[in-house]
Amino acid sequence: MKRWKLCSILFLAGVMIFASNIGVKAAELKPYKFGALYAMTGAGAWYGQQMTRGNHLAADEINAAGGVAGYKLIPVIEDHKSGSTTAGQNALRKLLTVDKIAFLMSSYGSVTLSISPIIKEERICTFNSGGTAPSLVNLPYLHNTRTLGDAQVPYVLKYLWDLGHRKMATIYYNMETGIGINKAAIQYWKSLGGVVVDEEMYAAGSTDLTAEVSRIKAAQPDFIGCWNYQLDVGYTVRDIRKMGMKVPICGAEFSPDAHKIAGEAMEGFLFALDDFDVNTDDPWGKEFVKNYRKKYGENPDKYAASYYENVYILKELISRVVAKGENPHDGSKLEAAIWDNPTFKSVYGIKSKLNKNGTADKTPYVYKITGGKPVIVKKTF
């Protein structure tokens, strides 16, 4: 009996020491804050929600597994109020002065462009997986892991060309992304031999586009290129159909919020995206979907997937920098670590390769809204 008691005491002591060691190790993890600039309020708040979820899920997983190189990852989310460059710049200054970040995740082309001089000056390693402005290239310390607008639009335009359409009209909002995509779309369409019968620019956020659509209708296009984002997509598609136009409509973006506004008018809408497939066969992708569903009760989208993946890229960069005996709170060290090997594991089931010009190698699919849901009509690889 005494021997049994002694064994029990020794066992319990061992358990307590083991638990104590775990606690000590957890307590020893140093905080590593990284910044994020998202649309947390305003018309694009849905985007910010998805991006934030991706960040938090990845950080929680990494921290639960023991962190990275002695650090616990802490996302600090700031609001650029759905595209306000002033709000974005102010939020970044707070992240720099208060949170002392060296790594940033950004969104929206206009916001990301407006902070690019600060990114360069302060040497902040920055990843954008939301904004698609064609001008988001060749900017120091900026990496775009989503296909930019000028690279994705040709896929849907070529699809329409192959269907026999030749006359395009465009409607786009007066933000950097819309202007840049419209220019790229027209250039590509004319290179195919197509004709542009009308171009209509409007103020971003407008909810009544009947004047612009009336002029497009008079031009009698074969189809309409809709180069805008957020809720603007829904209002544009809605007004085109309200004016009785039945020609195909294509765009650069689709979101559930925009779909709610357009309703049945969104049926047949075409767009090209490097979207995330929740039915992926990739083991890491499947694990991500399972964990996301468990945490949030719904399927992840491309924004959640991309911003989840970006946190794991940060984990890898911190590991590389610390392994060299360098400071991971120095953005220039994180940036240099990218080029040790610019190919990273991806939940998309492929390897994500970063390029020196700030782009990443991804190939979009062409989608069509059918029965209220996006359906792939052309795999472009």
Summarised one tens digit per residue, pLDDT across range 265-287 is: 999 999 998 878 898 889 999 99
Among candidate residues 92, 109, 142, 61, the one with its CA nearest the CA of residue 334: 142
Sequence-ordered strand ranges (E) for 166-278? 167-173, 195-202, 223-227, 249-251, 270-273
CA 361 vs. chain centroid, Å, equals: 14
Structural tokens at position 11: 């066992």
Q: Compute the distance between CA of residue 253 and CA of residue 272 in angstroms, rounded to an integer.
A: 8
Structural tokens at position 25: 């190790």
- Domains recognised in the chain with CATH numbers: 28-147+279-349 (3.40.50.2300), 150-273+365-379 (3.40.50.2300)
Model's pTM, two decimal places? 0.77
Q: Compute the distance between CA of residue 201 and CA of residue 182 in angstroms, rounded to an integer.
A: 9
Which comes out higher in pLDDT, residue 43 or 339?
Answer: 339
Strand 365-370 with 373-379, pairing: antiparallel
Among candidate residues 30, 73, 32, 78, the one with its CA nearest the CA of residue 52: 78
Q: Backbone dihedral region of 170: left (phi > 0), alpha (psi from -120 to 50 degrees) or beta?
A: beta
pLDDT tens readout for residues 185-197: 999 999 999 999 9
Q: How many CB atoms lie within 10 A of CB 376?
A: 13
Place of tokens 């990275």: 68
Among candidate residues 104, 180, 88, the one with its CA nearest the CA of residue 141: 104
pLDDT tens readout for residues 155-187: 999 999 999 999 999 999 998 889 999 999 999
Asked whether the beta carbons of 248 and 224 are under 8 A apart, the reply is yes
